[in-house]
Amino acid sequence: MRARIKASNDLWFEADAETEEELFKQVARVQEIFQHNCCGKCSSFNVKFVCRFDSSENDWLEIVCQDCRGKLIFGRTKKGGQIYPKIRWDQLSEKQQEQRINEKGYAEKNRGYLPDKGWFIYKPPAAS
Ligand SMILES: [Zn+2]
């Protein structure tokens, strides 16, 4: 069983599976990970997949809006090493929760989901 999945205007995937369940899972993965074709902040289609390294050589996966610098960050599951977009408050690390404390109230009122589908604009912490 084969399927073509459109993630965005310039990104297509092909899935090939023996069973309906396997095909379903592949489609779900593509949609969850790659189907982010516009910015959750400003709705621009000018978004880019970025992999960057920090000073400790950890790599970070994120989708960055070229217009407003909004971004959607990805995490990795401990088991299986799958990646997922961080769209819920409880998916943020402690440090990220500190940085994004202004989103907590929204998440509490919206079953744990972050505002703007998880997109945010990074503000460096104010110098103390
Ligand atoms: Zn944007």
pLDDT in tens, 59-73: 899 999 999 999 999
Per-position DSSP letters for the chain, written without gaps between them: -EEEEEEETTEEEEEE-SSHHHHHHHHHHHHHHH---S-TTT--S-EEEEEEE-TT--EEEEEEETTT--EEEEEE-TTTT-EEE--BGGGS-HHHHHHTGGGHHHHHHTTTBPGGGG-B---PPPP-
Measured in Å, residue 119 CA sits from the centre of ligand 1 at: 9
What was the pLDDT predicted at 127?
A: 63
pTM of the model: 0.88
Do 123 and 41 form a contact (C-beta atoms < 8 A)? no
Measured in Å, residue 63 CA sits from the centre of ligand 1 at: 10
